[in-house]
Amino acid sequence: MNTKNFRNPQLINNLVEKIKQYKEPISLMEVCGSHTMAIGKWGIRNLLPNNIKLISGPGCPVCVTPMSIIDALLDLKDVTIAIFGDLMRVPGENGSLELAKAKGLDVKIVYSPIDALKLAEKKETVFVGIGFETTIPGIAYTIKQAYEKNIKNFSVLTSLKTVPPALKLLSSDEDINLDGYILPGHVSVIIGKDAYNFLPKDYNIGGVVTGFEPADILSAIARMIQQVKNNDPKIENEYSRIVTNKGNITAQKIINEVLEPTDGIFRGIGIIPDSELKIREKYSAFDAEKKYNIKIEYKEDKSGCRCGDVLKGNIIPPTCPLFGEICTPSNPIGPCMVSSEGSCSAYYKYERIM
């Protein structure tokens, strides 16, 4: 794929002019944190007329990881805690892993769950498995590898979330007024376009699966405007060069073999039915929650951070009273400012001067 084709100035100008022809107010949610970053990076909001509003959604895995997971990790002793880098500075009720590491906690950043499995060759290792459908297949595969190789000193503390149940919650919330969704590209590679068919069927709201280049995002906005204009909600695939209708069947099979749905805790939002994947009984020897008797529960954030409202699309980051003052990338109060995919981080980096 030649990305220059999706950054062509003439193509972008044509899409912007097409979008500007629509004069009615319209609110669209970009579900994915990577889309939020891309929108900021490419200055998409600056190109749009004031009647087009883009709202960030809950598609940042670090942002929705329960506070109790961070606190549980701080209590683990005599193990290596293997994590993805974004999790290091996420605050729990009792501090962050970064601060605990400075005090001697054995925390190591890994780039894949297989790296964590290698660490287990030397020492008891707990891998913190977070993410949406994009990262879940690799984590499921690693658990299966540990099972087949009979690796005793490896386990996974999971906080694996799925996108469709979160969209069901958002679509049924009367306080959130949305006209459509800009649907995630990477997640959709795994689950496929058809995984969103419930949106127009059950909630009379449409969406467009799209990529991360400026022309991708603007094309998705133009398509959503057309749906709203024609009162014709449906699921479209602007990202057909990568996303198929059914998704990656092989990845889906490994997920279903190792993991099963359960109710999930989204930080700042609460419990969403069937939104999380837990380790099946067959592989329970590798479930850190059971191995270490860890209790994951919902905790209210008492810091004043309004990350939960940002994730639900109720507010934009600059309207949080902590944003840019107390809460900055160098002093993050909430996870939306920590993660590279967090809405607050994106606004601070690209749109703070607006």
Q: In the 3-class helix/strand/coil scheme, how is 59-81 assigned residue by residue?
A: ECHHHHCCHHHHHHHHCCCCCEE
pLDDT score, position 237: 98
33-41 helix and 214-230 helix, angle to the nearest 10 degrees: 110
Kindly give, in sequence order, each residue whose CB lies less than 8 Å from that of residue 109, ignoring residues fewer than 6 positions away. Answer: 82, 83, 84, 85, 88
> Architecture of domain 3-58+164-237 in CATH?
3-Layer(aba) Sandwich (3.40)
**pTM reported for the whole predicted model:** 0.93
- Report the candidate in 228, 224, 136, 184 with the shortest Cα–Cα distance to residue 36: 184
Closest residue by Cα to residue 143 from 289, 297, 295, 265: 289
pLDDT per 10-residue tile (average), the chain, 354 residues: 79 96 96 94 94 93 91 94 93 92 96 95 95 97 97 96 96 90 98 98 98 97 98 97 98 98 93 97 97 90 88 90 91 89 92 60
> Residue 3: what pLDDT?
65
**Dihedral of CA 338/339/344/345: which sign?**
positive
The answer to whether the CB of 45 falls within 8 A of the CB of 39 is yes
Domain assignments of the chain as residue spans, ordered by start: 3-58+164-237
Q: Which of 69, 2, 45, 4 is nearest to 217 (CA)?
A: 45
What is the predicted pLDDT for the residue at 354? 45
3-state secondary structure of 126: strand
